[in-house]
Amino acid sequence: MMTREEAHEILMKYMEGEHYITHSYAVEAIMKGLAKKLDPDNVEYWGIVGLLHDLDEEQCDWQNDLTVHGPTSVEILKKEGINDPVLFEAIKAHNPKSGKKAKTNLEYAVLAADPMSGFVKAVAQIYPDKKIASVKHKSVMKRFNELRFAKGANRDYMEAIEFTGLSLDDLIDVALEEMGAISEELGL
């Protein structure tokens, strides 16, 4: 199993866009928060899944073919000498259009954490100071139900957190707390 440092080195090798990198940190943070509740012995590992979930973002033509997003990350990781089927399946599961359906808690968590990170960021950006510290749980829930708001953030994927036994409320709390803790890194 790779360390967080090794995972970060691989990420930096294949990802350049600042907004992709901060998104990777945000999903890593949420995944660690979810692991504290669902799999406390593997917090760093869940973080690594979040950190690497979009590794192929700038390495494949997902804009024209969404099925390649996820499987391409797996190919890159194999090329880097990583052989971790649990990680590979979770990365594919975060994009159901890859053909992989989430089944485990880890897979549901990354499926849900990915859109939630962008959603919380979108809510923060409504506020004059654009700070995550200004965002209240109930504002996130209110916007969640306004389907035109941040409509790219898939509500069904976020609600899939319920398959782990946690609630959407829990996911929102974790996202606000964990993204808030690294707000400077995220620029929020």
List interacting residues with Fe ion (CB under 5 A). Answer: 54, 114
Using an 8 Å Cβ cutoff, are 58 and 14 in contact? Answer: yes
Q: How many CB atoms lie within 10 A of CB 165?
A: 11
Structure tokens, 82: 């990583």
* Vertex 70: Cα angle to 156 and 39 (nearest 5): 65
Smallest gap from residue 117 Cβ to Fe ion (A): 7
Q: Which one, of 124, 126, 125, lies nearest residue 175 by Cα?
A: 124
